Structure 1
Amino acid sequence: MSYRTVIAYIRSTQELQRIYRALALLAQDGEPMHVTGLYVIPTPVIYSDASGFIDASFYEGHLRHHQKNAEAVAHLFQEQIARYATTSEFLIVRSESDNASQTINEFGMAADLILAGQADPDDPDTQITPLDQLVYNTKTPTLIVPYNFHPPRSIRQLAIAFNGKYEASSAAFDALPLARHCATVRIVWVNAPKPESEEAATTVIPAPHRDPDAPREAPEIAVRLQQAYQRHDISARIDLIPSEGQTVQDRLRAYVEANEIDVLIMGAYSQSRLKELIFGGVTRSFLANMPCLTLFSR
Protein backbone atom coordinates (compact mmCIF):
# COMPACT_ATOMS: atom_id res chain seq x y z
CA MET A 1 0.00 0.00 0.00
CA SER A 2 1.36 3.41 -0.97
CA TYR A 3 0.25 6.77 -2.32
CA ARG A 4 0.22 6.17 -6.08
CA THR A 5 -1.42 9.44 -7.22
CA VAL A 6 -0.34 12.70 -5.59
CA ILE A 7 -1.55 16.24 -6.31
CA ALA A 8 1.25 18.68 -5.46
CA TYR A 9 -0.16 22.18 -5.09
CA ILE A 10 2.66 24.65 -5.74
CA ARG A 11 2.64 28.46 -5.52
CA SER A 12 6.30 29.41 -5.99
CA THR A 13 9.69 27.98 -6.89
CA GLN A 14 10.76 28.38 -3.26
CA GLU A 15 7.78 26.34 -2.10
CA LEU A 16 8.49 23.72 -4.76
CA GLN A 17 11.86 23.00 -3.14
CA ARG A 18 10.04 22.12 0.10
CA ILE A 19 7.55 19.99 -1.83
CA TYR A 20 10.47 18.11 -3.40
CA ARG A 21 11.93 17.35 0.04
CA ALA A 22 8.60 15.85 1.09
CA LEU A 23 8.27 13.89 -2.16
CA ALA A 24 11.74 12.46 -1.59
CA LEU A 25 10.49 10.98 1.70
CA LEU A 26 7.36 9.55 0.06
CA ALA A 27 9.43 8.01 -2.74
CA GLN A 28 11.65 6.04 -0.36
CA ASP A 29 9.29 3.05 -0.39
CA GLY A 30 10.27 2.46 -4.04
CA GLU A 31 6.66 2.11 -5.21
CA PRO A 32 5.44 3.74 -8.46
CA MET A 33 4.05 7.23 -7.91
CA HIS A 34 2.38 9.68 -10.29
CA VAL A 35 2.69 13.34 -9.31
CA THR A 36 0.52 16.08 -10.77
CA GLY A 37 2.04 19.49 -10.18
CA LEU A 38 -0.78 22.02 -9.91
CA TYR A 39 -0.50 25.80 -10.18
CA VAL A 40 -3.81 27.61 -9.74
CA ILE A 41 -4.26 31.20 -10.91
CA PRO A 42 -6.97 32.72 -8.70
CA THR A 43 -9.43 35.28 -10.02
CA PRO A 44 -8.76 38.54 -8.18
CA VAL A 45 -11.47 40.47 -6.38
CA ILE A 46 -11.54 43.94 -7.94
CA TYR A 47 -13.42 46.79 -6.32
CA SER A 48 -14.50 49.96 -8.04
CA ASP A 49 -13.71 53.39 -6.65
CA ALA A 50 -16.33 55.84 -5.40
CA SER A 51 -17.16 56.91 -8.95
CA GLY A 52 -17.68 53.32 -10.10
CA PHE A 53 -14.42 53.17 -12.09
CA ILE A 54 -12.66 49.80 -12.27
CA ASP A 55 -8.94 49.82 -13.04
CA ALA A 56 -8.45 47.01 -15.58
CA SER A 57 -4.67 47.32 -15.31
CA PHE A 58 -4.80 45.64 -11.88
CA TYR A 59 -6.39 42.53 -13.39
CA GLU A 60 -3.89 42.50 -16.26
CA GLY A 61 -0.96 42.87 -13.86
CA HIS A 62 -2.34 40.05 -11.72
CA LEU A 63 -2.48 37.70 -14.72
CA ARG A 64 1.01 38.67 -15.92
CA HIS A 65 2.50 38.02 -12.49
CA HIS A 66 0.89 34.61 -12.13
CA GLN A 67 1.66 33.55 -15.68
CA LYS A 68 5.34 34.41 -15.21
CA ASN A 69 5.42 32.72 -11.80
CA ALA A 70 3.63 29.62 -13.12
CA GLU A 71 6.09 29.25 -15.99
CA ALA A 72 9.05 29.44 -13.59
CA VAL A 73 7.47 26.80 -11.34
CA ALA A 74 6.66 24.59 -14.33
CA HIS A 75 10.24 24.79 -15.60
CA LEU A 76 11.71 23.78 -12.24
CA PHE A 77 9.11 21.03 -11.82
CA GLN A 78 9.83 19.46 -15.20
CA GLU A 79 13.56 19.77 -14.62
CA GLN A 80 13.66 17.77 -11.37
CA ILE A 81 10.46 15.76 -10.87
CA ALA A 82 11.88 12.58 -12.46
CA ARG A 83 14.02 12.13 -9.34
CA TYR A 84 10.93 11.53 -7.23
CA ALA A 85 8.05 10.34 -9.43
CA THR A 86 7.63 7.49 -11.88
CA THR A 87 5.32 9.60 -14.05
CA SER A 88 4.28 13.23 -13.80
CA GLU A 89 2.44 16.15 -15.35
CA PHE A 90 2.21 19.86 -14.65
CA LEU A 91 -1.02 21.83 -14.98
CA ILE A 92 -1.69 25.56 -14.90
CA VAL A 93 -5.38 26.22 -14.33
CA ARG A 94 -7.51 29.25 -13.53
CA SER A 95 -9.82 29.31 -10.56
CA GLU A 96 -13.25 30.90 -10.88
CA SER A 97 -12.80 32.54 -7.48
CA ASP A 98 -10.08 34.29 -5.52
CA ASN A 99 -9.49 31.07 -3.59
CA ALA A 100 -7.88 28.03 -5.20
CA SER A 101 -9.12 25.47 -2.67
CA GLN A 102 -12.16 24.37 -4.67
CA THR A 103 -10.03 23.77 -7.78
CA ILE A 104 -7.43 21.82 -5.79
CA ASN A 105 -10.13 19.69 -4.18
CA GLU A 106 -11.64 18.84 -7.57
CA PHE A 107 -8.30 17.41 -8.67
CA GLY A 108 -7.93 15.74 -5.27
CA MET A 109 -11.08 13.70 -5.90
CA ALA A 110 -9.01 11.50 -8.23
CA ALA A 111 -5.90 11.25 -6.05
CA ASP A 112 -4.65 9.40 -2.97
CA LEU A 113 -3.02 12.45 -1.45
CA ILE A 114 -2.81 16.24 -1.71
CA LEU A 115 0.61 17.69 -0.92
CA ALA A 116 0.83 21.39 -0.10
CA GLY A 117 3.07 23.84 1.71
CA GLN A 118 2.40 26.01 4.73
CA ALA A 119 2.44 29.71 3.89
CA ASP A 120 5.91 31.21 4.23
CA PRO A 121 5.88 34.72 5.76
CA ASP A 122 8.90 35.59 3.60
CA ASP A 123 7.32 34.36 0.35
CA PRO A 124 4.30 36.51 -0.66
CA ASP A 125 3.24 34.09 -3.41
CA THR A 126 2.42 31.46 -0.77
CA GLN A 127 0.00 33.77 1.06
CA ILE A 128 -2.87 32.98 -1.32
CA THR A 129 -5.27 30.11 -0.61
CA PRO A 130 -5.53 29.80 3.18
CA LEU A 131 -4.83 26.18 4.07
CA ASP A 132 -7.70 26.01 6.56
CA GLN A 133 -10.16 26.27 3.66
CA LEU A 134 -8.30 23.61 1.70
CA VAL A 135 -8.21 21.18 4.63
CA TYR A 136 -11.80 21.87 5.68
CA ASN A 137 -13.35 21.35 2.25
CA THR A 138 -11.43 18.33 0.97
CA LYS A 139 -12.12 14.65 1.58
CA THR A 140 -8.64 13.72 0.33
CA PRO A 141 -5.91 13.37 2.97
CA THR A 142 -3.67 16.43 2.83
CA LEU A 143 0.00 16.41 3.79
CA ILE A 144 1.23 19.88 4.73
CA VAL A 145 4.93 20.78 4.60
CA PRO A 146 6.03 23.39 7.18
CA TYR A 147 7.57 26.53 5.70
CA ASN A 148 10.71 25.97 7.82
CA PHE A 149 10.86 22.27 6.98
CA HIS A 150 14.06 20.40 7.85
CA PRO A 151 13.46 16.91 6.49
CA PRO A 152 14.55 13.82 8.39
CA ARG A 153 16.59 11.21 6.54
CA SER A 154 13.45 9.07 6.49
CA ILE A 155 10.06 8.95 8.17
CA ARG A 156 10.72 6.75 11.20
CA GLN A 157 8.66 8.30 14.00
CA LEU A 158 4.92 8.72 13.40
CA ALA A 159 2.31 9.94 15.87
CA ILE A 160 -1.47 9.75 15.49
CA ALA A 161 -3.29 12.47 17.42
CA PHE A 162 -6.35 10.47 18.45
CA ASN A 163 -9.47 11.59 20.28
CA GLY A 164 -11.96 8.83 19.51
CA LYS A 165 -13.77 10.86 16.85
CA TYR A 166 -14.52 10.00 13.23
CA GLU A 167 -12.05 12.50 11.77
CA ALA A 168 -9.16 11.10 13.83
CA SER A 169 -10.08 7.54 12.84
CA SER A 170 -10.21 8.51 9.17
CA ALA A 171 -6.79 10.14 9.45
CA ALA A 172 -5.31 7.05 11.14
CA PHE A 173 -6.28 4.80 8.23
CA ASP A 174 -5.34 7.39 5.59
CA ALA A 175 -1.86 7.31 7.14
CA LEU A 176 -1.29 3.57 6.66
CA PRO A 177 1.04 4.06 3.65
CA LEU A 178 3.26 6.26 5.84
CA ALA A 179 3.03 4.10 8.96
CA ARG A 180 4.04 0.79 7.41
CA HIS A 181 7.69 1.83 7.07
CA CYS A 182 8.04 3.56 10.45
CA ALA A 183 10.15 2.25 13.29
CA THR A 184 7.71 3.63 15.86
CA VAL A 185 3.99 4.42 15.58
CA ARG A 186 2.30 6.11 18.53
CA ILE A 187 -1.41 6.57 19.18
CA VAL A 188 -1.45 9.72 21.30
CA TRP A 189 -4.52 10.78 23.27
CA VAL A 190 -4.51 13.97 25.32
CA ASN A 191 -7.04 13.88 28.17
CA ALA A 192 -8.45 10.47 27.24
CA PRO A 193 -11.76 9.66 28.97
CA LYS A 194 -11.63 7.04 31.67
CA PRO A 195 -12.99 3.67 30.53
CA GLU A 196 -16.38 2.60 31.82
CA SER A 197 -16.51 0.05 34.59
CA GLU A 198 -17.73 -3.42 33.70
CA GLU A 199 -20.95 -2.70 35.60
CA ALA A 200 -21.58 0.53 33.68
CA ALA A 201 -20.73 -0.86 30.24
CA THR A 202 -23.76 -1.59 28.05
CA THR A 203 -22.02 -3.03 24.98
CA VAL A 204 -22.57 -6.68 24.14
CA ILE A 205 -19.39 -6.77 22.04
CA PRO A 206 -16.54 -8.47 23.92
CA ALA A 207 -13.75 -6.12 24.90
CA PRO A 208 -10.66 -6.55 22.72
CA HIS A 209 -7.69 -8.54 23.91
CA ARG A 210 -5.35 -5.88 25.18
CA ASP A 211 -1.69 -5.58 24.38
CA PRO A 212 0.06 -6.22 27.71
CA ASP A 213 2.06 -3.03 27.17
CA ALA A 214 -1.04 -0.88 26.55
CA PRO A 215 -2.05 1.40 29.43
CA ARG A 216 -4.79 -0.20 31.53
CA GLU A 217 -6.78 3.03 31.42
CA ALA A 218 -6.64 3.27 27.60
CA PRO A 219 -10.15 3.66 26.09
CA GLU A 220 -11.39 0.60 24.23
CA ILE A 221 -11.53 2.43 20.88
CA ALA A 222 -7.81 3.24 21.16
CA VAL A 223 -7.05 -0.43 21.80
CA ARG A 224 -9.16 -1.42 18.80
CA LEU A 225 -7.25 1.04 16.61
CA GLN A 226 -3.99 -0.43 17.89
CA GLN A 227 -5.23 -3.91 16.95
CA ALA A 228 -6.35 -2.74 13.50
CA TYR A 229 -2.82 -1.49 12.88
CA GLN A 230 -1.39 -4.80 14.07
CA ARG A 231 -3.46 -6.58 11.40
CA HIS A 232 -1.52 -4.50 8.88
CA ASP A 233 1.70 -5.77 10.52
CA ILE A 234 2.27 -2.36 12.09
CA SER A 235 3.16 -2.26 15.76
CA ALA A 236 1.67 0.76 17.52
CA ARG A 237 1.89 1.92 21.11
CA ILE A 238 -0.70 3.93 23.02
CA ASP A 239 0.42 7.03 24.90
CA LEU A 240 -2.09 8.78 27.17
CA ILE A 241 -1.15 12.35 28.06
CA PRO A 242 -2.83 14.46 30.76
CA SER A 243 -3.27 18.10 29.84
CA GLU A 244 -1.89 19.32 33.18
CA GLY A 245 -3.71 22.61 32.79
CA GLN A 246 -2.45 23.26 29.25
CA THR A 247 -4.38 23.26 26.00
CA VAL A 248 -4.53 20.08 23.94
CA GLN A 249 -2.55 21.72 21.16
CA ASP A 250 0.24 22.84 23.50
CA ARG A 251 0.56 19.40 25.10
CA LEU A 252 0.50 17.69 21.72
CA ARG A 253 3.08 20.06 20.24
CA ALA A 254 5.37 19.51 23.23
CA TYR A 255 4.98 15.74 22.79
CA VAL A 256 5.89 15.97 19.09
CA GLU A 257 9.02 17.98 19.83
CA ALA A 258 10.12 15.88 22.82
CA ASN A 259 9.80 12.61 20.90
CA GLU A 260 11.27 13.93 17.62
CA ILE A 261 8.18 12.94 15.64
CA ASP A 262 8.75 13.02 11.86
CA VAL A 263 5.09 13.14 10.81
CA LEU A 264 1.95 13.91 12.80
CA ILE A 265 -1.44 12.48 11.78
CA MET A 266 -4.51 14.53 12.70
CA GLY A 267 -8.24 14.46 12.12
CA ALA A 268 -9.17 17.96 10.99
CA TYR A 269 -12.03 20.03 12.38
CA SER A 270 -13.68 17.46 14.63
CA GLN A 271 -15.63 20.42 16.00
CA SER A 272 -17.36 22.95 13.78
CA ARG A 273 -15.23 25.44 11.90
CA LEU A 274 -17.20 28.31 13.46
CA LYS A 275 -16.46 26.97 16.93
CA GLU A 276 -12.77 26.69 16.04
CA LEU A 277 -12.82 30.24 14.68
CA ILE A 278 -14.37 31.66 17.86
CA PHE A 279 -12.73 29.55 20.55
CA GLY A 280 -9.66 28.28 18.72
CA GLY A 281 -8.88 24.64 18.17
CA VAL A 282 -6.20 22.05 17.56
CA THR A 283 -6.54 22.10 13.75
CA ARG A 284 -6.20 25.87 13.37
CA SER A 285 -3.38 25.93 15.91
CA PHE A 286 -1.32 23.35 14.01
CA LEU A 287 -2.03 24.92 10.62
CA ALA A 288 -0.56 28.14 12.00
CA ASN A 289 2.34 26.61 13.93
CA MET A 290 3.46 23.29 12.49
CA PRO A 291 6.31 21.45 14.25
CA CYS A 292 6.69 18.74 11.58
CA LEU A 293 5.11 17.25 8.48
CA THR A 294 1.40 16.94 9.27
CA LEU A 295 -1.26 14.83 7.56
CA PHE A 296 -4.78 16.22 7.94
CA SER A 297 -7.88 14.20 7.11
CA ARG A 298 -11.64 14.62 7.52
Structure 2
Amino acid sequence: MSYKTLVTVLDNPDNTRIAADFAAAFAKEYGAHIVGLHAEIISTVPLVAPMEIPDPVAVQALQDVAHSQAVEIERLFRTKMEGAGLDYEWRSFTSTVGYGTEPLIESARSADLLVAVQPDPAKYSDNQVDVETFLFDSGRPVLLIPYILRTPKPVRRVLIAWNGSKEAARATFDALPFLKAADSVEILSVSTSERETHPSKESGVQIAAALTRHGVRAKFETAACTGKSTPSQVIENRLADNSIDLLVMGAYTHSWLWQMIFGGTTRTLLQSMTAMTLLAR
Protein backbone atom coordinates (compact mmCIF):
# COMPACT_ATOMS: atom_id res chain seq x y z
CA MET A 1 0.00 0.00 0.00
CA SER A 2 1.17 3.52 -0.82
CA TYR A 3 -0.34 6.96 -1.19
CA LYS A 4 -0.84 7.55 -4.92
CA THR A 5 -3.41 10.37 -4.88
CA LEU A 6 -3.00 13.26 -2.44
CA VAL A 7 -5.68 15.94 -2.23
CA THR A 8 -4.25 19.09 -0.71
CA VAL A 9 -6.88 21.39 0.78
CA LEU A 10 -5.84 25.01 0.24
CA ASP A 11 -7.81 27.62 2.14
CA ASN A 12 -5.57 30.73 2.20
CA PRO A 13 -2.18 31.83 0.80
CA ASP A 14 -0.24 31.30 4.06
CA ASN A 15 -1.54 27.75 4.49
CA THR A 16 -1.07 27.06 0.80
CA ARG A 17 2.67 27.58 1.13
CA ILE A 18 2.85 25.09 4.00
CA ALA A 19 0.45 22.54 2.51
CA ALA A 20 2.12 22.63 -0.91
CA ASP A 21 5.58 22.11 0.59
CA PHE A 22 4.46 19.11 2.67
CA ALA A 23 2.37 17.58 -0.11
CA ALA A 24 5.29 17.94 -2.53
CA ALA A 25 7.59 16.15 -0.10
CA PHE A 26 5.10 13.29 0.33
CA ALA A 27 4.48 13.06 -3.41
CA LYS A 28 8.19 12.69 -4.10
CA GLU A 29 8.48 9.96 -1.48
CA TYR A 30 5.47 7.95 -2.65
CA GLY A 31 5.36 8.83 -6.35
CA ALA A 32 1.92 10.38 -5.88
CA HIS A 33 -0.34 12.57 -7.99
CA ILE A 34 -1.34 15.81 -6.22
CA VAL A 35 -4.69 17.56 -6.47
CA GLY A 36 -4.87 21.16 -5.27
CA LEU A 37 -8.39 21.78 -3.95
CA HIS A 38 -9.76 25.24 -3.17
CA ALA A 39 -13.19 26.68 -2.37
CA GLU A 40 -13.66 30.23 -3.57
CA ILE A 41 -16.02 31.25 -0.80
CA ILE A 42 -18.47 34.12 -1.13
CA SER A 43 -18.81 35.48 2.40
CA THR A 44 -22.04 36.53 4.10
CA VAL A 45 -23.48 39.55 2.32
CA PRO A 46 -24.30 42.70 4.33
CA LEU A 47 -27.94 43.77 4.04
CA VAL A 48 -29.14 47.32 3.48
CA ALA A 49 -31.89 48.65 5.76
CA PRO A 50 -34.81 49.19 5.72
CA MET A 51 -35.68 46.68 2.98
CA GLU A 52 -32.79 44.36 3.89
CA ILE A 53 -31.69 43.79 0.34
CA PRO A 54 -28.11 42.85 -0.55
CA ASP A 55 -25.80 45.78 -1.12
CA PRO A 56 -24.53 45.25 -4.71
CA VAL A 57 -21.31 47.14 -4.00
CA ALA A 58 -20.57 44.92 -0.99
CA VAL A 59 -21.46 41.79 -2.98
CA GLN A 60 -19.04 42.73 -5.75
CA ALA A 61 -16.30 43.63 -3.27
CA LEU A 62 -16.61 40.26 -1.50
CA GLN A 63 -16.55 38.42 -4.83
CA ASP A 64 -13.48 40.35 -5.94
CA VAL A 65 -11.63 39.54 -2.69
CA ALA A 66 -12.51 35.82 -2.90
CA HIS A 67 -11.48 35.60 -6.54
CA SER A 68 -8.24 37.51 -6.00
CA GLN A 69 -7.31 35.12 -3.18
CA ALA A 70 -8.19 32.10 -5.32
CA VAL A 71 -5.94 33.38 -8.12
CA GLU A 72 -3.05 33.83 -5.67
CA ILE A 73 -3.54 30.38 -4.12
CA GLU A 74 -3.57 28.76 -7.57
CA ARG A 75 -0.40 30.64 -8.54
CA LEU A 76 1.43 29.53 -5.38
CA PHE A 77 0.31 25.93 -5.80
CA ARG A 78 1.21 25.66 -9.50
CA THR A 79 4.59 27.34 -8.96
CA LYS A 80 5.50 24.84 -6.25
CA MET A 81 4.32 21.78 -8.19
CA GLU A 82 5.98 22.79 -11.46
CA GLY A 83 9.20 23.75 -9.69
CA ALA A 84 9.28 20.31 -8.06
CA GLY A 85 8.46 18.57 -11.34
CA LEU A 86 5.42 16.80 -9.89
CA ASP A 87 2.30 15.32 -11.48
CA TYR A 88 -0.58 17.54 -10.37
CA GLU A 89 -3.92 19.13 -11.15
CA TRP A 90 -5.88 22.12 -9.85
CA ARG A 91 -9.55 22.10 -8.84
CA SER A 92 -11.37 25.23 -7.69
CA PHE A 93 -15.05 25.61 -6.84
CA THR A 94 -17.13 28.67 -6.03
CA SER A 95 -19.17 28.12 -2.87
CA THR A 96 -21.36 29.99 -0.42
CA VAL A 97 -21.25 27.22 2.18
CA GLY A 98 -17.51 26.67 2.44
CA TYR A 99 -15.72 23.34 2.23
CA GLY A 100 -18.84 21.31 2.92
CA THR A 101 -20.06 21.71 -0.65
CA GLU A 102 -20.67 18.43 -2.49
CA PRO A 103 -18.22 18.90 -5.40
CA LEU A 104 -15.34 19.39 -2.95
CA ILE A 105 -16.35 16.35 -0.92
CA GLU A 106 -16.62 14.29 -4.11
CA SER A 107 -13.09 15.36 -5.08
CA ALA A 108 -11.85 14.41 -1.63
CA ARG A 109 -13.33 10.91 -1.90
CA SER A 110 -10.95 10.05 -4.74
CA ALA A 111 -7.90 10.57 -2.51
CA ASP A 112 -5.72 8.12 -0.62
CA LEU A 113 -4.95 10.94 1.81
CA LEU A 114 -6.14 14.50 2.40
CA VAL A 115 -3.54 17.06 3.46
CA ALA A 116 -4.63 20.22 5.29
CA VAL A 117 -3.07 22.81 7.57
CA GLN A 118 -4.37 23.39 11.09
CA PRO A 119 -6.25 26.71 11.21
CA ASP A 120 -4.40 29.40 13.13
CA PRO A 121 -6.84 30.46 15.90
CA ALA A 122 -5.41 33.98 15.80
CA LYS A 123 -6.30 34.36 12.12
CA TYR A 124 -9.88 33.14 11.82
CA SER A 125 -11.64 33.70 8.50
CA ASP A 126 -14.62 32.35 6.57
CA ASN A 127 -12.17 30.59 4.25
CA GLN A 128 -10.80 28.19 6.87
CA VAL A 129 -11.05 24.56 5.91
CA ASP A 130 -13.69 22.54 7.76
CA VAL A 131 -11.57 19.55 8.76
CA GLU A 132 -14.51 17.93 10.52
CA THR A 133 -16.56 18.06 7.30
CA PHE A 134 -13.92 16.10 5.44
CA LEU A 135 -13.62 13.59 8.27
CA PHE A 136 -17.36 12.97 8.42
CA ASP A 137 -18.37 13.24 4.79
CA SER A 138 -15.40 12.19 2.65
CA GLY A 139 -14.61 8.88 4.31
CA ARG A 140 -10.92 9.58 3.77
CA PRO A 141 -8.08 10.07 6.28
CA VAL A 142 -6.90 13.62 6.92
CA LEU A 143 -3.28 14.52 7.61
CA LEU A 144 -3.33 17.76 9.58
CA ILE A 145 -0.18 19.90 9.59
CA PRO A 146 0.36 22.21 12.61
CA TYR A 147 0.38 25.83 11.47
CA ILE A 148 3.59 26.31 13.51
CA LEU A 149 5.37 23.63 11.46
CA ARG A 150 6.77 25.43 8.44
CA THR A 151 9.26 22.95 6.94
CA PRO A 152 8.65 19.32 5.94
CA LYS A 153 10.74 16.68 7.65
CA PRO A 154 10.86 12.88 7.39
CA VAL A 155 8.42 10.89 9.53
CA ARG A 156 10.80 8.84 11.65
CA ARG A 157 8.94 8.41 14.95
CA VAL A 158 5.20 7.69 15.12
CA LEU A 159 2.81 7.49 18.06
CA ILE A 160 -0.55 5.73 17.68
CA ALA A 161 -3.16 6.74 20.26
CA TRP A 162 -4.91 3.41 20.78
CA ASN A 163 -8.20 2.70 22.56
CA GLY A 164 -9.39 -0.32 20.63
CA SER A 165 -12.09 1.59 18.74
CA LYS A 166 -12.97 1.21 15.06
CA GLU A 167 -11.79 4.81 14.51
CA ALA A 168 -8.37 4.00 15.96
CA ALA A 169 -8.13 0.85 13.84
CA ARG A 170 -9.05 2.72 10.68
CA ALA A 171 -6.54 5.49 11.38
CA THR A 172 -3.81 2.95 12.08
CA PHE A 173 -4.19 1.13 8.78
CA ASP A 174 -4.77 4.38 6.84
CA ALA A 175 -1.35 5.45 8.16
CA LEU A 176 0.38 2.25 7.02
CA PRO A 177 2.67 3.89 4.40
CA PHE A 178 4.01 6.24 7.09
CA LEU A 179 4.31 3.40 9.61
CA LYS A 180 6.28 1.16 7.24
CA ALA A 181 8.79 3.94 6.52
CA ALA A 182 9.21 5.00 10.16
CA ASP A 183 12.15 4.04 12.36
CA SER A 184 9.88 3.40 15.35
CA VAL A 185 6.14 3.12 16.01
CA GLU A 186 4.70 3.22 19.52
CA ILE A 187 1.11 2.14 20.13
CA LEU A 188 -0.03 3.84 23.33
CA SER A 189 -3.10 3.02 25.44
CA VAL A 190 -3.89 5.55 28.18
CA SER A 191 -6.11 4.74 31.17
CA THR A 192 -7.75 7.53 33.15
CA SER A 193 -6.16 6.40 36.46
CA GLU A 194 -3.44 4.10 37.75
CA ARG A 195 -6.10 1.79 39.22
CA GLU A 196 -8.03 1.41 35.97
CA THR A 197 -7.36 -1.61 33.82
CA HIS A 198 -6.56 -1.19 30.12
CA PRO A 199 -9.58 -2.58 28.24
CA SER A 200 -7.68 -2.05 24.98
CA LYS A 201 -4.53 -3.89 26.11
CA GLU A 202 -5.27 -7.19 24.37
CA SER A 203 -6.30 -5.49 21.12
CA GLY A 204 -3.22 -3.27 21.37
CA VAL A 205 -0.95 -6.30 21.52
CA GLN A 206 -2.81 -7.77 18.56
CA ILE A 207 -2.55 -4.60 16.48
CA ALA A 208 1.19 -4.41 17.21
CA ALA A 209 1.58 -8.00 15.98
CA ALA A 210 -0.46 -7.24 12.85
CA LEU A 211 1.70 -4.22 12.05
CA THR A 212 4.87 -6.21 12.65
CA ARG A 213 3.74 -8.65 9.97
CA HIS A 214 3.66 -5.64 7.62
CA GLY A 215 7.30 -4.93 8.44
CA VAL A 216 6.48 -2.09 10.87
CA ARG A 217 8.76 -1.64 13.89
CA ALA A 218 5.86 -1.51 16.34
CA LYS A 219 5.64 -1.88 20.10
CA PHE A 220 2.66 -1.59 22.44
CA GLU A 221 2.85 0.50 25.64
CA THR A 222 0.41 1.51 28.36
CA ALA A 223 0.29 4.68 30.45
CA ALA A 224 -2.00 6.04 33.16
CA CYS A 225 -3.19 9.49 34.13
CA THR A 226 -1.79 10.60 37.46
CA GLY A 227 -3.10 13.35 39.72
CA LYS A 228 -5.25 15.70 37.67
CA SER A 229 -3.69 14.84 34.33
CA THR A 230 -5.90 13.91 31.38
CA PRO A 231 -5.35 11.42 28.54
CA SER A 232 -4.61 14.29 26.16
CA GLN A 233 -1.91 15.60 28.51
CA VAL A 234 -0.33 12.15 28.78
CA ILE A 235 -0.25 11.92 24.97
CA GLU A 236 1.11 15.49 24.64
CA ASN A 237 3.93 14.67 27.07
CA ARG A 238 4.75 11.54 25.09
CA LEU A 239 4.87 13.54 21.88
CA ALA A 240 7.36 15.97 23.38
CA ASP A 241 9.48 13.47 25.33
CA ASN A 242 9.90 11.11 22.38
CA SER A 243 10.24 13.77 19.65
CA ILE A 244 7.29 12.32 17.75
CA ASP A 245 6.92 13.34 14.10
CA LEU A 246 3.42 11.91 13.52
CA LEU A 247 0.46 11.23 15.80
CA VAL A 248 -2.11 8.73 14.51
CA MET A 249 -5.54 8.70 16.11
CA GLY A 250 -9.22 8.15 15.50
CA ALA A 251 -11.61 11.09 15.57
CA TYR A 252 -14.03 9.97 18.23
CA THR A 253 -17.61 11.03 18.97
CA HIS A 254 -18.78 11.53 22.54
CA SER A 255 -21.14 14.44 23.05
CA TRP A 256 -22.99 17.10 21.13
CA LEU A 257 -21.68 19.85 18.83
CA TRP A 258 -17.89 20.32 18.95
CA GLN A 259 -17.28 17.15 20.92
CA MET A 260 -19.68 15.38 18.58
CA ILE A 261 -17.24 16.33 15.85
CA PHE A 262 -13.93 15.50 17.46
CA GLY A 263 -14.38 14.22 21.02
CA GLY A 264 -12.73 15.64 24.13
CA THR A 265 -9.24 14.13 23.82
CA THR A 266 -9.07 14.71 20.06
CA ARG A 267 -10.23 18.30 20.38
CA THR A 268 -7.66 19.14 23.06
CA LEU A 269 -4.81 17.63 21.10
CA LEU A 270 -5.77 19.48 17.92
CA GLN A 271 -5.83 22.81 19.75
CA SER A 272 -2.22 22.35 20.87
CA MET A 273 -0.76 20.44 17.94
CA THR A 274 3.01 19.95 18.02
CA ALA A 275 3.22 17.05 15.55
CA MET A 276 1.55 16.17 12.29
CA THR A 277 -1.66 14.28 13.04
CA LEU A 278 -3.36 11.69 10.89
CA LEU A 279 -7.07 11.44 11.69
CA ALA A 280 -9.70 8.99 10.49
CA ARG A 281 -13.16 7.88 11.50
Give the TM-score range, shorter chain: 0.7 to 0.9
Contact 2:42/2:66, CA 8 A, preserved across alignment: no
Partner of 2:276: 293
Q: Please give the alpha-carbon distance, in whole angstroms, between the structure 1 residues aligned to 2:136 and 2:85.
A: 27
Structural mapping, 1:276-291, within 5 Å: 276=259, 281-291=264-274
Contact 1:120/1:126, CA 8 A, preserved across alignment: no
Q: Please give the alpha-carbon distance, in whole angstroms, between the structure 2 residues aligned to 1:279 and 1:134.
A: 12
What 5-or-longer segments of structure 1 have no aligned partner? Answer: 197-217
Q: CA 1:127–1:137 in 2, change beyond 3 Å: closer, same or farther?
A: same
Structural mapping, 1:182-201, within 5 Å: 182-191=182-191, 194=197
Q: Please give the alpha-carbon distance, in whole angstroms, between the structure 1 residues aligned to 2:255 and 2:44.
A: 27
Report the identity percentage: 27
Residues 15-34 of structure 1 show CA distances to partners (whole Å, capped at 9, x for unaligned) of 122113322442353x3211
Residues 236-292 of structure 1 show CA distances to partners (whole Å, capped at 9, x for unaligned) of 011211011311111111111111100111100242453726996022222322111
Q: Please give the alpha-carbon distance, in whole angstroms, between the structure 2 residues aligned to 1:184 and 1:155.
A: 10
Matched, 1:36 2:35: yes
Q: Please give the alpha-carbon distance, in whole angstroms, between the structure 2 residues aligned to 1:50 and 1:111.
A: 46
Contact 1:141/1:295, CA 8 A, preserved across alignment: yes
Paired AA for residue 60 in structure 1: Q
Q: Please give the alpha-carbon distance, in whole angstroms, between the structure 2 residues aligned to 1:76 and 1:285.
A: 32
**Corresponding pairs, count:** 275
Partner of 2:11: 11
SS of 1:8's partner is strand
Q: Please give the alpha-carbon distance, in whole angstroms, between the structure 1 residues aligned to 2:166 and 2:146.
A: 25
Q: CA 1:247–1:102 in 2, change beyond 3 Å: closer, same or farther?
A: farther
Contact 1:159/1:186, CA 8 A, preserved across alignment: yes
Residues 5-24 of structure 1 show CA distances to partners (whole Å, capped at 9, x for unaligned) of 11111122221221133224
1:247 to 230, 234, 237: 230
Matched, 1:262 2:245: yes
Partner of 1:77: 77
Matched, 1:229 2:232: no
Partner of 1:101: 100
Contact 1:175/1:265, CA 8 A, preserved across alignment: yes
Partner of 2:56: 56
* TM-fit CA distance, 1:152: 5.8
Paired AA for residue 184 in structure 2: T
Contact 1:119/1:127, CA 8 A, preserved across alignment: no
Structural mapping, 1:38-187, within 5 Å: 38-46=37-45, 48-51=47-50, 52-82=52-82, 86-95=86-95, 97-103=96-102, 104-121=104-121, 123=123, 128-151=128-151, 153-187=153-187
Q: Please give the alpha-carbon distance, in whole angstroms, between the structure 2 residues aligned to 1:84 and 1:285.
A: 35
Q: CA 1:40–1:64 in 2, change beyond 3 Å: closer, same or farther?
A: same
SS of 1:100's partner is helix
Contact 1:159/1:263, CA 8 A, preserved across alignment: yes
Question: Could you say what the CA RMSD is over the residues aligned between the two structures, in angstroms?
Answer: 2.6
* TM-fit CA distance, 1:62: 1.6
Q: Which has the higher helix share?
A: 2
* TM-fit CA distance, 1:125: 5.3
Contact 1:102/1:134, CA 8 A, preserved across alignment: no
Q: CA 1:69–1:100 in 2, change beyond 3 Å: closer, same or farther?
A: same
Paired AA for residue 41 in structure 2: P
Q: Please give the alpha-carbon distance, in whole angstroms, between the structure 2 residues aligned to 1:275 and 1:63.
A: 30
Q: Which structure: larger Rg?
A: 1
